[in-house]
Chains A and B, each alone.
Chain A
Amino acid sequence: MSTPNENLSVPDLRAVVDRRRDSGELSADIEDELGAHFRSLTSFRPQPTIDALASIERAARALAAYHVTVDVQLESDVPGGSGVHRATGRVVTPQIDALIEQIDEQRDTLVASLDQFVATAHEVLSALDSFEARREACEDTFARAHARVNAQDEAIYQLQRESRQRTIDLGADHDRFVERMRSGDDVLAEHDGAIADQLVGYDPVLQIGGRHQMLDALTARGIGTVRVEAPDGLGVLRESGGDAFGALVVLGAVEKMPAGDVVELVSLAAHKIRPGGKLLIETLNPLSLSVHSHDLFADPRRLRLVHPELLEYLVESSGFGEWRIEWLSTGAEGRAKPVPGGDAMVDTLNENFARVDRLLFAPRQYLLIGVR
């Protein structure tokens, strides 16, 4: 015998329920809401019975026990009637006295019960009133709290917007001012050319930061390039698809980024550069002390120097297969003049000076070249 369960598949029903939820017909957490509501009912613990309620009960019972009795008239207008009444009264009066006693007792109990009832009713009503007042006070408090949360949310939004908008505008001449501290135009052109030569065949190239001259050098070699300003670089990388670029060239940018962004940049580069593609990062060299006193401060957008070993570490842990560092000599080394003379002391002095010289005036920039 086939059972109805075979004819109607329960997965069918489940599928219908899911469809209703997905389309928004059935609100997604209806079962949770119903359950939470029931739990909120069950968690309410009623107060233990107050004494007043017990006394109301007693009073109500006393009321029920109240009897009405009749009074007996002793006077009469009928001749001889009084005599009859008196005779009857002699028999009945003790009973009536007893009845009257009972009535008095019951009346006192009754009055006391009613008083108690009224007092309790007052208590209950005033408790309700104060509950009502407290409830309304709660509602006011919730309303204010809600508005305050909204106000704070709004303040945060405004702050975020302002910080995004905060750009440092140094004027059109600033770039040339910075470059003046480096070297002459032909040296730079050679430098741009050298980098661009390494990227032939690696298009599309994303250039983050750096000068327009670099962009020109790349496009002159037929390399399809997109250039974005340093602050926008990370955003563009985030939105690009995987393996989107043949090479990523980051020039004078990482020293302007917070540390976390540098880490993210390298890690994104590993996904957005296609296998075999190149990552070029050129930045100031912290191993040259003059950079710390000179170049770091010339451009207020520079935040921190990035150690070459740190970059190597980041590149390695992001999964780049090979990498190397090139020191960009700018001819500023060897400022110290050698001490003349040929004996051992002079030689040692000169060696020491040379060492210090190298430290002070080591290459001002380095270029990290990584291959995915």
Chain B
Amino acid sequence: MKLAFVVQRYGLEVAGGAERHCREFAERLVERGHEVTVLTNCARSYVDWSDDYEPGDSVVNGVTVRRLRVVRPRDAVVFDDLNARVAWGRPPVASFIQREWMRQQGPEMDGYEGALLDLARSHDVVIFFTYLYSTTFTGLLLLAGRVPTVLHPTLHDEAPAYASIYRQMFRMPTLFALSTPEEVELVERIYGVRPRHRVIGVGVDLAIEGQPDRFRKQYALTTEPYLLYVGRLDPGKGSDELFDFFAAYKIRRPGPLKLVVLGDPIKALPAHPDVIVTGFVDDEVRNDALLGAQAFVQPSYFESFSMVVSEALSAGLPVLVQAHCEVLAGHVARSGAGFAYRGYAEFETAVDILLAHPELVAEFGRRGRAYVEREYAWETVMDRYESALSEAFDLGAEINVESAVR
């Protein structure tokens, strides 16, 4: 099939969950013999969309990448205030103000509509990534009814999702490609639609190799067990809460347990003798750390899939996740490979159990591994995805709208 992806950033150097997710799919589809084009802009950073890459066509790992210039970089002064008022304010907000918020959020690309129509007329299916940006908003509204479309909303329960202009947009795609079963419920709840969908998930590398001793040596650890957190240190990701819980645990349960934090601090943590912050590390160090950990912790409140959790499960680690996040709780419920904790008491109990029952740790590790093999092996994920794309193609350019009746 000839497939087109539309995404707000793309490139080997682009970080960001949804963007990386898009690139993995695009490249693996090429490996399976499809022709893939990606329409995107020249930006590396979503903070201001400033041009970094060259405009025009290039080929990256077999994928044709078509880059358009951004009309103007984001004006933070204008956007930040509008964002606070519109996305984080109280409804109802006049729709022309919401559209202005969308415009200021960007990325507004030069010649976007023409390029999109060309794409629609020369490809079998057009696939959009992330609900939030104007690329998807303008794109879906333009292409609905002209060509089969697929939307990966990568939705989580955050304030901007509730802006009422998205209600129309969520009625436009031919098919939804969702990361988790929980995402379906979220779409229904927020937008009042029962979407035609497939739960695809994200693939994970099943062959994680490394040397745990190397990591211990590098960071002056001997035999101490450690909990591992991987990700930005960002209050939005729950890192502050994790630190507080860990500090409290250490007071109530003196012992050798450490917390290892692999990530860049947006907001630095206070110093603690049992907390080791490594800053950004490469994949080799990360895999070493994964393989030597006692358990993996994901305290974030807002996740749409959490690739790091699936990586931890693939490495055979039990996981401790934030129960307030339905997606994380869903992984634990389906895998049976750890605990979802709500509040400190449950956190403490879970850690106690893990430290006291090595046989349970081993069992969790086995279950976690079986879960990712079954659900998230790349072969499996791509089979599901190809079948979803074929389904979208067969459905044609119609939209299938059905409001969820309360």
Which residue on A lies nearest to B75, using beta carbons? A25
Given contacts A37-B96, A140-B171, are A147 and B144 in contact (CB under 8 A)? yes
Given contacts A133-B405, A140-B171, A143-B399, are A150 and B143 in contact (CB under 8 A)? yes
Query: Judging by beta carbons under 8 Å apart, are B168 and A136 in contact?
Result: no
Query: Judging by beta carbons under 8 Å apart, are A139 and B94 in contact?
Result: no
The answer to whether B24 has its CB under 8 Å from any CB of chain A is no
The answer to whether A180 has its CB under 8 Å from any CB of chain B is no
Partner of A37, one of B94, B142, B144, B146: B94
Partner of B406, one of A133, A140, A146: A133
**Whole-angstrom CA separation of A147 from B72 in the bound complex:** 29
Could you tell me the distance in whole angstroms from the C-beta of B247 to the nearest C-beta in chain A? 46
Say whether chain B's binding surface is mostly helix, strand, loop, or mixed: loop
Interface residues of A in 145-177 (CB under 8 A from B): 146-151, 153-154
Q: For A18, list chain B residues within 8 Å (CB).
A: none
**Whole-angstrom CA separation of A146 from B96 in the bound complex:** 18
Q: For B167, list chain A residues within 8 Å (CB).
A: 139
Query: Judging by beta carbons under 8 Å apart, are B168 and A143 in contact?
Result: yes
Query: Judging by beta carbons under 8 Å apart, are A154 and B146 in contact?
Result: yes
The answer to whether B403 has its CB under 8 Å from any CB of chain A is yes
Number of interface residues of B (CB under 8 A): 27
The answer to whether A132 has its CB under 8 Å from any CB of chain B is yes
The answer to whether B265 has its CB under 8 Å from any CB of chain A is no
Q: For B143, list chain A residues within 8 Å (CB).
A: 150
Query: Judging by beta carbons under 8 Å apart, are A146 and B71 in contact?
Result: no
Query: Judging by beta carbons under 8 Å apart, are B145 and A146 in contact?
Result: yes
Interface string of B111-137 (1 = CB under 8 A from A): 000000000100000000000000000
The answer to whether B210 has its CB under 8 Å from any CB of chain A is no
Q: For B401, list chain A residues within 8 Å (CB).
A: 140, 143-144
Interface residues of B in 34-87 (CB under 8 A from A): 71-72, 75
The answer to whether B141 has its CB under 8 Å from any CB of chain A is yes
**Whole-angstrom CA separation of A37 from B96 in the bound complex:** 8
Which residue on B lies nearest to A40, using beta carbons? B94
The answer to whether B397 has its CB under 8 Å from any CB of chain A is yes
Query: Judging by beta carbons under 8 Å apart, are A137 and B403 in contact?
Result: yes
**Whole-angstrom CA separation of A346 from B401 in the bound complex:** 87
Interface residues of B in 193-233 (CB under 8 A from A): none
Query: Judging by beta carbons under 8 Å apart, are B172 and A143 in contact?
Result: yes
The answer to whether B363 has its CB under 8 Å from any CB of chain A is no
Contact surface of A with B, Cβ cutoff 8 Å:
24-25, 27, 33, 37, 129, 132-133, 136-137, 139-140, 142-144, 146-151, 153-154
Give 22 A-B contacts (CB < 8 Å), ordered by A residue. A25-B75, A37-B94, A37-B96, A132-B406, A133-B406, A136-B403, A139-B167, A143-B144, A143-B172, A144-B401, A146-B172, A147-B144, A147-B397, A147-B398, A148-B145, A150-B142, A150-B143, A150-B144, A150-B145, A150-B146, A151-B146, A154-B146
